[in-house]
Amino acid sequence: MSVLVDRHDAVAVVTIDRQEALNALNVETLTELRDRLHELADDESARAVVLTGAGERAFVAGADIKYMAGLGPDEAKEWGGLGHEAARLLEEMPKPTIAAINGFALGGGCELALGCDLRYASSNARLGQPEIDLGIVPGWGGTQRLARVCGLGVAKELILTGRPVDAEEALRIGLVNAIADPVLEHALGVAGKLAGKSPGALRVAKGLLNLSPGALELEAEEFGDLFASEDAKEGLAAFAEKRPPRFLGR
């Protein structure tokens, strides 16, 4: 089991625990996460959900790059779809969701955090969308949600350059709501307060706030198509081989 659910009164804490890979998500872990979120969405006794990563170093260091290195376009679309389901559950479940970002939140990790209603970061957190340096693009909602949360200008800079930001910069650009240590304790405090509010009013407020347009389906499609390129194969293989990629433009 690499996804644990603990209860703190009416607050559910979901912890992703795959520390040997800085909590990067493989199929098994992401499927478990999707399933646990599905259960919590339907569970009226859970009034708020906190998502975090196990250990001191990472929230989630992204989708598992070594797994993705072997994917063709159709499999990559399915993989994109699975992460979209998890992020959509965080975004749309009828109760508040909070990311307690305790270290690296890169690629798919940042995208899961962006699916949450609120984001708090530890002072050692690093967030970003480094997919461009793998020859691919964000595939779990980042192209849409980063722009919605931080504005189009910031989203373009971070997604096109792949540059990660530290906690201070994340706060300045609105990517996180606050910096707090220990971050889980802070997130639990906020979640506890939200759990005492009217669930019906929270559900309606969240639903209304989410009524902004996006192109999430198109993102999943384009993400998968990139896996037919030599550059994606090169970028993903270079990570496992611990060398810089050589992109040839095809």
Q: Kindly list the distances between the CA atom of residue 241 and the CA atoms of 107, 162, 234, 236, 238, in Å, as whole numbers in the listed order.
A: 19, 20, 10, 9, 5
Return the number of the residue (40 or 114) whose C-beta is nearest ligand HXC.
114
Find out whether the peptide bond into 96 is cis, omega within 30 degrees of 0. Answer: no
Question: DSSP code of 69?
Answer: T
Q: Active site includes 169?
A: no
Q: Which is nearer to ligand HXC, 43 or 85 (CB)?
A: 85
Q: Distance (Å, rounded) from C-alpha 170 to C-alpha 152?
A: 15
Q: How far is the CB of 89 from ligand HXC (least distance, A)?
A: 16
Nearest CA among 119, 123, 102, 97 for reference residue 191: 97
Distant-in-sequence, close-in-space partners of 119: CB < 8 Å, separation ≥ 6: 98, 99, 101, 113, 175, 176, 177
CB of 204 to ligand HXC, least distance (A): 31
Q: List the catalytic residue out of 28, 56, 78, 131.
A: 131
Catalytic residue, candidates 32, 91, 111, 219:
111
**Shortest Cβ 65–ligand HXC spacing (Å):** 4
- Which residue from 13, 87, 91 is spatially nearest to 53, judged by alpha carbons? 13
Of 236, 59, 219, which Cα lies nearest the Cα of 155?
219
Nearer to ligand HXC, 99 or 190 (CB): 99
CB of 18 to ligand HXC, least distance (A): 9
User: What is the DSSP annotation of 167-232?
Assistant: HHHHHHTTSSSEE-SSHHHHHHHHHHHHHTS-HHHHHHHHHHHT-----HHHHHHHHHHGGGSHHH
- Could you list the residues that contact ligand HXC (CB under 6 A)? 21-22, 24, 61-66, 79-80, 83, 104, 106-108, 130-131, 134, 138-140, 223
The residue whose two tokens read 């569970």 is 43
Of 163 and 206, the one with the shorter C-beta distance to ligand HXC is 163
Tokens representing residue 99 in the block: 């990311």
**Least distance (Å) between residue 45 CB and ligand HXC:** 32
Residue 131 annotated in active site: yes
Which residue has the closest beta carbon to ligand HXC? Answer: 107
Considering the complex, state which of residue 22 and residue 194 has its C-beta at the smaller distance from ligand HXC.
22
Residues designated catalytic: 111, 131
